[in-house]
Chains A and B, each alone.
Chain A
């Protein structure tokens, strides 16, 4: 009987730490090709529309940056959480909370118009996301609740609150009863980087900046050491004199704040107003981004573009091949599955256990 055995490596493999995301990508493409052919589409065409077509024109590269910005911003925050063993699954809710908090100025005080508005909005978005993330963090630090459940459930609260507020109190008085807020005035809009070439705005700059700063903190500073050691071995972290409950708060505040910043940047940038739905699941997709980037902020920048491509590719395939947008979601799911699966290779190697050993025994038993 042939069987596969996982054998623990004495030390984690540097080679596989680097290439496991790539192996995962390849496996996702193979599985995706199989899925597309089962759906009756040519897998080559589908993969072309997914991964090549969106890269062919400048304007669509700008679209890629627009999609990548929130993914990266959220995912670098999540990497702090995940590295410190805090499972914040509610970034989608914190994204919405940041968007709502940041929109207070242009929606409620539309006459307050000067250059202060945008910086204030960004700060309020940051604070709103952080405050929303503080809820599951406090519950975990104080009552030891499961943060996966609490943070996830708060997503639905945020989504329904957004839906209510844009249909109710914040509905645009001159908007023909559409469930939208008024359009943000010019001081409340995140400027585009190169208006002549495409729509990409300052969001992507914030994202890359946040990634570089957090990379430095995680790799080079004592704070980064604290985050990693508390995540890997909490008891050793306590022995080092670090406090796990303070870390819970800090990790959630950072990731919530960055998710909130992503939320207000998206609303003030690409959308320009609040709508019932402002995110195609960025907060959840960012979890995939974080793991595909191996929780390394610089890796996350690359991973953010890959997942952004799957959004654009999904749209392209929908238009050109009539593939359901659910296919894009399935695609993302497979990617996470393979990323987590391939991570096994970092700590284990696969061995084929053949018949030889058993055969020897059989001979002995005879």
Chain B
């Protein structure tokens, strides 16, 4: 690794030396070495990728650079001088800015007000708005400073965060998974902005697990695995497969999608003109959603987060009931007025987006979490006389699922919160698949899950469909949808587009729909160039 790194280092010396140098940076949480002797150097005017799976130590490293965590050992040199960064304020003072993956904006305030709140000095609001407008023009980040954040799309919110960061005139900008919430078109525009910043001599530390965009954008890459640097490399010299192998440490199984069934299966899940008013001012109403998933098929719902996917899931699962019983039909039975237990008895299964606190109770053991979603459907096996829980049967079923899905855990029956995200997700999906449900609705099946577990989950969903069930996958991850779906539709602003067969879909088509570019709905500021 050092050979490669040294070679690349050399080529960058002409640009004015290293801006940031990190040697042996270590952070220990209990028994876990989250970061173990990390070396990293970022030159001036370079876009540096930080690659790694979930849990590889990317966030820990970045938090140490941004002063949010204290390193246990190691040095940080900034512009050639050793520094100790005690707080995010100090980091900003040095010239390190950060754009977080999860935004910290007040929805009820305007963009300019949000920016003003983060400034240390007391600049008048009009001046802030003026500077924000200048920056937004200079970097191609269209933004109305007086728009309320609650009315803005995720992409626009991210622009506020970026402008807020740029106002501090940083030399190094850290971006944490910036494209995970963007449409492909929005991402393209972000890349242009980042390239402009690079040309001005600013440096960017770009955290991502999307290999194609790293290859396209970044000059150098540092790959982390299990808290250690496995490679410093030039991503342009690598293939996506070789980068993935560095991240995972092994070849990732590719998901095999056997040809979809030719004959049309019967519709197992039907949704007709489903409406739901917004539950609160910042929730998304559902507007006339209709869809149909047939036996043997995987249908995908794409869309940028916050366009009604969560609301749709709650309506489908029966956590929120519909006004009309025939708005949702499961295996030909009206289920709109039936609660989640009744829908499960009809043969449906559900996997929500949030693992801890929704799909599973964090403080409860795995066997109890199995009981959570199965106590009605498997009443005979799991519930004894006087309503007692059959612990033996439960333990047996839990270990069957653990084995089938290769769930890695410590202890026989640990609490759900003790499992890593990927392993808990495998358990939650396995818990539903174990029933062989006729219909399964999964929201973000592999969000925050490492590549190995993700491949396993996707394969399991395809296999379930091919065995004759109907699978509906709601996901923000387009790669995932293209990998597993037979048809795909797009959610935007609480509406669902007409589904298209995956063979006819393309990233561009889907991306346009994600931005809201339906024929009758063009003219949004997002799409003026593209629509």
Contacts and interface: CB of A to CB of B under 8 A. Distances in A.
Contacts of B361: 229, 232-233, 236-237
Interface residues of B, number: 41
A232 B341 contact: no
B73 to A, nearest CB: 7
A53 to B, nearest CB: 41
A241 B359 contact: no
A3 interface: no
A142 interface: no
Interface in A1-36: 7, 10-12
Contacts of B414: 11
A35 to B, nearest CB: 36
B497 to A, nearest CB: 28
Contacts of A228: 364
Interface residues of A, number: 25
A241 B364 contact: no
Interface string B366-393: 0010011101100000010011110000
A239 B389 contact: no
Contacts of A239: 317, 319, 340, 350, 352, 358-359, 372-373
B127 interface: no
B368 A233 contact: no
Contacts of B417: 11
B364 A229 contact: yes
Given A235-B357, A236-B357, A222 B75 contact: no
A235 B373 CA distance: 12
A365 interface: yes
Given A7-B30, A222-B383, A239-B358, A229 B388 contact: no
B82 to A, nearest CB: 5
A240 B375 contact: yes
A236 B358 contact: yes
A57 interface: no
B70 interface: yes
Interface string A218-239: 0011110100110011011111
A237 B70 CA distance: 38
B291 to A, nearest CB: 22
A40 interface: no
Interface string A115-134: 00000000000000000000
B73 A221 contact: no
A111 interface: no
A11 B319 contact: no
B373 A240 contact: yes
A56 interface: no
Given A229-B372, A236-B361, A241 B30 contact: no
B129 interface: no
A360 interface: yes
A77 to B, nearest CB: 19
Interface string B396-424: 00000000000000000011011000000
Nearest to B319: A238
Given A220-B389, A239-B372, 14 more contacts: A11-B417, A12-B363, A221-B387, A222-B387, A222-B389, A225-B371, A229-B361, A233-B358, A235-B358, A236-B358, A236-B360, A236-B361, A240-B372, A360-B73
What are the 7 A-B residue pairs with the smallest beta carbon separation, nearest first?
A241-B341, A236-B361, A233-B361, A221-B387, A361-B84, A240-B372, A235-B358
30 contacts: A10-B30, A10-B418, A11-B417, A221-B387, A221-B389, A222-B383, A222-B387, A225-B371, A229-B364, A229-B372, A232-B363, A233-B361, A235-B358, A236-B357, A238-B340, A239-B317, A239-B319, A239-B340, A239-B358, A239-B372, A240-B340, A240-B375, A241-B339, A241-B341, A241-B376, A357-B70, A361-B84, A364-B75, A364-B82, A364-B84
